[in-house]
Amino acid sequence: MSQSLGKKPGERRRRDARACETDPQVLSKAPTTAAPTLVLGALIVSGAGRAEVASRQTLGWGFAARASASEFDGTRHDGLWNSSHADVAGSAALSAGTVQVSFTPRSAAGRQTIAHFYSSAVPESGVILGIDATSIFWRVGADEVTVPVSLTLNRAHQIHATVTEGRLRIFLDASPVYFGDSIGFLASVAGVNSFDIGGRNTGGQDSYADFFTGTLQRLTVLDGPLTPSEMKTVNQNNRFPVALDDFSALAAQVSPTKIAPATWVFTGDSITNGNVHTYGMRSWSEQFAQRLVEIGLGDDTVINTGISGDTSVATSTTLGVNTRFEDRVGAYDPDVVVVMLGMNDSSTALGIARETYLANMGEIVDKIREVGATPVLAASNPICSEAEAGQRSAYPAYVQGLRALAASKQVVLVDHFADWLTQPGGAMPTAWFGDAIHPNGLGHWQLTRTLFQTIGGWDPASGIGAESDTPVNGFIEGSALELPLTTALTQSYGYGFCGAFDGSRVEDRSVDLAAYPMHRQFEGTYAVKFTTSSAATGVLLGISDSTRSDTALTIRSVAGGVRALITRGGMVLLDLDSGDLGLADGAQHTVMLSAGNGTTRLTVDGRVVGFSATQRFGADAGSADTLTVGALKNDSGTSTGFVGSIAWVYALTEPTEPVQQFTLTGGNAVSRSADLTQLLGTLSQTGASWQQFESRPITILTEDLQAPSGGWRRWTDNLQELHRGERNYRQDYVVTVNPGATSVSARVGWFLAQGRLSASRMVILQALDADLAAAGEASSYRTLLTGAVTTLRSATRLPVLMTSVTADAETNSAMRCAAAASGAVLIDSEAEALQVGSGAVPASWLKADELSALGHERVTFRVLKDLGIWAGSDSLADSHPLAPARGVLAVPGGALTVKAGGSVVVPVSVAIDGTAHDVAFGIHAAGGAAEVTDISGATVSGSTGRDANLSIGGAHSGTVQAVATVRVPADAVVGSTVQVVINASLGNQRARFPGKVVNLSVVCGDTSMPLREAGSRNERTGP
């Protein structure tokens, strides 16, 4: 049964009102727990982002479903005239809010009024929401905004006109079609006491024009904005939601109850690529993947093919998504494709006209539908620098064109541009930027949040990472900006031999031990270059006690493999046996035994063939006094003679890893394996520029690889950061997949069956305890792994095996054995952990039995080393979190006073500890209540306005000072406080000081400016 507003004296109810219904009830929501305030960059933001406060309905007017009264024939209207009802008065008082209408047009003729709010005394100055054949219009008094759209006759539509933070946003069917400065809301019209639907009042009770033809189901006024998810959901605020058809498909893809895993492709430019400016935090596609894991959709695959600098169509310097659609999108057989482009298209440097950009974006949408996927368009964030905005001054127009394109093609649009400019306070959210254009980690978190709020799958109670995962521009405890490849290697012994060993010959070099006591080393490397065709056991190198046969260190050739054995007093201290590696092939090989950092490693030709989490070396042989080559010599005589030839024996003072062994030169040089040679050729290409490089994606096959807390990246994401970003192989996409398979063979079979992953050249298989459990025993697991390597090679893929820090030792041992037996390249991340932890995984690498942020960072280092793409001069700087700055940021202490309409000088300074740096200051007038009119120092670049910045180039030490002049508007309320947020960074250290707040107290009299040092020293050395 429909309800109606009670009739008040002096108001006139429209005819047919008995069929109307209204429900002016206020929807309430329990207040959310206040998140801690974090000072990030130059803006104070809540740790939980935008507060999840439900907008309240202040007026509802409409009809029951299929009620005849909802039909308007172009001659009638409905509403309240000259009403004193509280809901009309409450709505009339709103300076911001939303007008929501649900309707079905049946005629395209002329201007048609959907809703009219006005004063009965002056109806022509009211607020009107209406349509004509090709547009939506929003009129406040004499000002009007007209938005071209495509309305379908006889089809239900819904319009939301929202004014918030001084901006107007218009949505059609839950998709944004307009964004711009507000021209006002209901409170902008004096004395509103009437409203109509279906016609525009022209004066008096019965004078109307611009009638609507069709169904008007419901008019609602709310006191705040709605998210697209709320717009398309049935609730008390929205009884007849209408949304684009694609919303249903997208909602199904983020439903935890869906059956088939989906493939999501994110493509675009550097913002989607997400490198450098996130400082080690997850990009929005990576945050999206993490949210999928949290809602039980971890088997979905998220692929990022964004390329820094890219555009919609190819230019002389860009590839263009439309031009290279197959490489970027089509090859992956996606289910959903998210495209965010336009920032570079709008640049005057590239000269892509707006019409050209929109035409290519339209073709991209068409191609996405042709491959059977659902397209999602995204408008990039705004630009926060006036200087940068100059080159891209047309960017807002490109975004508005994208809104129109999305509406015309019925495509869901995620409007980050509007979302960022309508945050509480209305100010540019500078804390979300890494530079003038690119979001930082917090900005990417917001991009993900808006995406989920648009397509569905957002839960305010949990957010992303239960909201505690909100990225904060901090640092990873214990990390280092630069991890050196190696220290200098020092040779402690070397001896060359010519001729063959026949099993009876022994070369006794004990005399050398006096000058070169290699037998006394507790750490270092022993190496032997040898050739054999015999499967017989023979000692290559022996360090023994001449008086007893139960104490020795030997490196042996055994049945096509090698073995390292250390005994003392009959006790076996180390026994590493590679098994048959096919070394009895008449070719030269190099075997190395390396010990240090609590571990011992046996390698052949740079391949790890044996590993121990204990450190054992020459000195562990106790009283050894004999050095022999070709056989073992002790009190029992000479034994275990070698058959073959030995070219060179040497020792190094330092322990070595495979990646270091390949740097040795001359007689110490180690040849790379066939797989590693092929791998280096795959990961490194030659050409005039990266645009000419072939796309060679990398696939990582794993299960349930967890992202670390705090918003930091996984090692897989760090890999793409360094390889695609810092090494500039922009088309070598890194794809991490979780097939949900129960064995390694099933996982490889699944991979090869996926045509969408056929472009991948290299496949990384990570050790998983579940695979060992499925195989039953280690030997069976090794067999499955070697079989997987063979299968991948036969499919022209390059297999790479990888141990895991969180896997059991038996699982990792089987992985090493499989790599040794098959000749596959091995990434030994467990060895990295045990070396750093002197035989135990460092506690700082783990959190709740999963890799911590530091663990992921150090695994990345190991991956890059073992893949051979890490140089001693490299660092993880661009993928690294910001370091805490050393020094003192000083701002005025206490409140500064400033009169309304006046200005105040705010001095700031940084006292730098140690090394000289360049300095950047950021000054933000929070809430838009003031602006910086001048900022000066030893400047090379700067800007003023609500968000000001000053870059002081060069190498500075000691104290660096700057002065900002902040003006308060004339209408500032006396007694109020205006906040100015200051931050500073040492640019060439990628280090920032925590932001500080200066309070400006608005007074009537003269200003004063007390100053005291308010900084605090940060003694951390940082990453």
Q: Band of the pLDDT at 993, cuts 50, 70, 90?
A: low
With 70 as the cut, is the pLDDT of residue 853 above it? yes
Distance CA(591)–CA(583), nearest Å, equals: 10
Residue 484: band (very low, low, confident or very high) from pLDDT cuts 50, 70, 90: low
228 and 140, same domain (yes or no): yes
pLDDT reported for residue 997? 80
**Would you state the pLDDT for residue 43?**
28
Contacts of 956 (CB under 8 A, 6+ apart): 912, 916, 917, 918, 919, 938
Dihedral pair phi/psi, residue 806, rounded to 5°:
-95, 0
**Tokens (6 digits) for 806:** 């969180």
State how far the Cα of 786 lies from the Cα of 782, in Å rounded to an integer.
6
Q: Are 640 and 539 in contact (CB under 8 A)?
A: yes
Rounded-to-integer distance, Cα 919 and Cα 339, Å: 36
Query: For residue 616, what is the domain's CATH number?
Result: 2.60.120.200
Residue 42 within any structural domain of the chain: no
Measure the CA dihedral 303/305/308/314, to 10°.
-160
CA dihedral (615, 620, 621, 627) in degrees, to 10, reads: 80
Do 219 and 270 share a domain, yes or no? no
Instruction: Judge if 837 and 897 occupy the same domain.
Output: no
Question: Does the pLDDT of residue 23 top 80, yes or no?
Answer: no
Domain boundary among 405, 440, 455: 455
Is residue 758 one of the residues assigned to a domain?
A: yes
Task: Tell me which of 360-369, 718-727, 842-851 is least confident.
Answer: 718-727
The answer on 389 and 322 residing in a single domain is yes
Percent of the chain with pLDDT over 70: 82
Would you state the pLDDT for residue 142?
A: 94
**Cα separation, 312 vs 344, whole angstroms:** 9
Span 574-596, average pLDDT: 94
pLDDT at 471: 52
Beta-carbon-side half-sphere exposure of residue 959 (alpha carbons within 13 Å): 11
At residue 956, the pLDDT reads 67
Which range among 230-239, 878-887, 958-967, 998-1007 shows the weakest confidence by mean pLDDT?
Answer: 878-887
Please say which residue of 407, 425, 455 terminates a domain: 455
Give every CB contact of residue 235 below 8 A, 6+ residues apart in sequence: none
Confidence band of 635 (pLDDT split at 50, 70, 90): confident
Q: Indicate whether 298 and 350 sit together in one domain.
A: yes
At residue 10, the pLDDT reads 36
Helices (H), 529-657: none
CATH of the domain at 930: 2.60.40.740
Number of domains in the chain: 5
For the chain, the average pLDDT equals: 83
Question: In this predicted structure, what is the pLDDT of residue 467?
Answer: 44
Are residues 412 and 539 located together in one domain of the fold? no
Name which residue leads in pLDDT, 700 or 278. 700
Query: Which range has the worst mean pLDDT, 278-282, 339-343, 345-349, 953-957?
Result: 953-957
Q: Lowest-pLDDT range, 175-189, 418-432, 882-896?
A: 882-896
Give domain status of residue 239, yes or no: no
Contact criterion met (CB below 8 Å) for 428 and 436: no
Residue with tokens 């807390």: 709
Q: What's residue 517's pLDDT?
A: 92
Q: Are the beta carbons of 39 and 981 closer than 8 angstroms?
A: yes
More confident residue, 911 or 574: 574
Is residue 118 over pLDDT 80? yes
pLDDT at 58: 95
* CA–CA separation, 564 and 577 (whole Å): 7
Q: What is the mean pLDDT of residues 702-725?
A: 85
Q: Are 852 and 762 contained in the same domain?
A: yes
pLDDT band at 12 (very low <50, low <70, confident <90, very high): very low
The verdict on residue 9 lying in a domain is no
Asked if residue 282 and residue 194 are part of one domain, the reply reads no
Instruction: Note whether residue 64 is domain-resident.
Output: yes
Q: Is residue 510 in a domain?
A: yes
The one-character DSSP state at 226 is -
Last residue of a domain, one of 867, 895, 924: 867
Report which DSSP code applies to 488: P
Give the per-residue pLDDT at 689.
79
**Per-residue DSSP letters for 23-51?**
--PPP--PPPPPPPEEEETTEEEETTSS-
Average pLDDT of span 19-28: 30
Task: Determine contact, residues 333/261, Cβ cutoff 8 Å.
Answer: no
Check residue 266 and give its pLDDT: 98
Mean pLDDT across the stretch 36-43?
27
- Determine the pLDDT at residue 583: 94
Contact 644, 538 (CB under 8 A): yes
Please check whether residue 505 lies inside any domain of the structure.
yes
Amino acid at the residue 807: A
- The residues that bridge with 374 in the sheet, in sequence order, are 336
Tens digits of residue pLDDT in 150-170: 899 999 999 999 999 999 999
What pairing do the DSSP bridges indicate for beta strands 903-925 and 491-496?
unpaired
Together in a domain, 829 and 917: no
No. of H helices and E strands in the chain?
A: 20, 56
Same domain? 525 vs 631: yes
Q: Is the pLDDT of residue 896 over 80?
A: yes
Residue 357 has pLDDT above 70, yes or no: yes
Spell out the residues 6+ positions from residue 844 whose beta carbon is closer than 8 angstroms to its own: 477, 478, 852, 854, 855
Cβ neighbours of residue 996 closer than 8 Å, sequence gap 6 or more:
39, 889, 891, 981, 982, 983, 1014, 1015
Distance, in Å, from the CA atom of 80 to the CA atom of 128, rounded to the nearest integer, reads 15
Q: Mean pLDDT over residues 637-654, rounded? A: 93
Please give the Cα distance from 503 to 546 (Å, whole number).
20
- The answer to whether 285 and 447 are in contact (CB under 8 A) is no
Q: Are residues 498 and 434 in the same domain?
A: no
Q: Higher pLDDT residue, 57 or 659? A: 57
45: pLDDT confidence band, cut at 50, 70 and 90? very low
Please compute the mean of the pLDDT values over residues 320-332 and round it to a whole number.
94
Q: Give pLDDT, residue 489.
A: 85
- Grade residue 913 by pLDDT with cuts at 50, 70 and 90: low
Are 88 and 119 in contact, with CB atoms under 8 Å apart? Answer: no
- Residue 1020 pLDDT greater than 60, yes or no: no
Model confidence at 61, pLDDT cuts 50, 70, 90, reads very high
Among the listed ranges 500-504, 903-907, 910-914, 960-964, which one has the minimum average pLDDT value?
Answer: 910-914
- The pLDDT value recorded for residue 758 is 82
Per the structure, the complete domain to which residue 373 belongs is given by: 260-455
Return the amino acid letter for 879: S
Mean per-residue pLDDT, 520-534 = 95
pLDDT tens digits, 782-816: 999 999 999 999 999 999 999 999 999 999 999 99
The full length of the chain comes to 1023
How far is it, in rounded angstroms, from Cα 616 to Cα 834?
14
Residue 916: predicted pLDDT: 60
Strand spans (E) along 294-392: 301-304, 336-340, 374-379
Residue ranges of alpha helices (H) inside 244-383 are 245-253, 270-273, 284-294, 325-328, 354-370
Termini Cα distance of the chain: 67
Per-residue pLDDT tens digits for 197-214 = 999 999 988 899 999 999
Q: The CATH number of the domain where 369 resides is what?
A: 3.40.50.1110
pLDDT at site 1000: 86
Quick one: 940 and 999 in the same domain?
Answer: yes
Q: What is the model's pLDDT at position 995?
A: 64
User: What sign does the dihedral 543-548-551-556 (CA atoms) show?
Assistant: positive
Could you tell me if residue 846 is inside a domain? yes
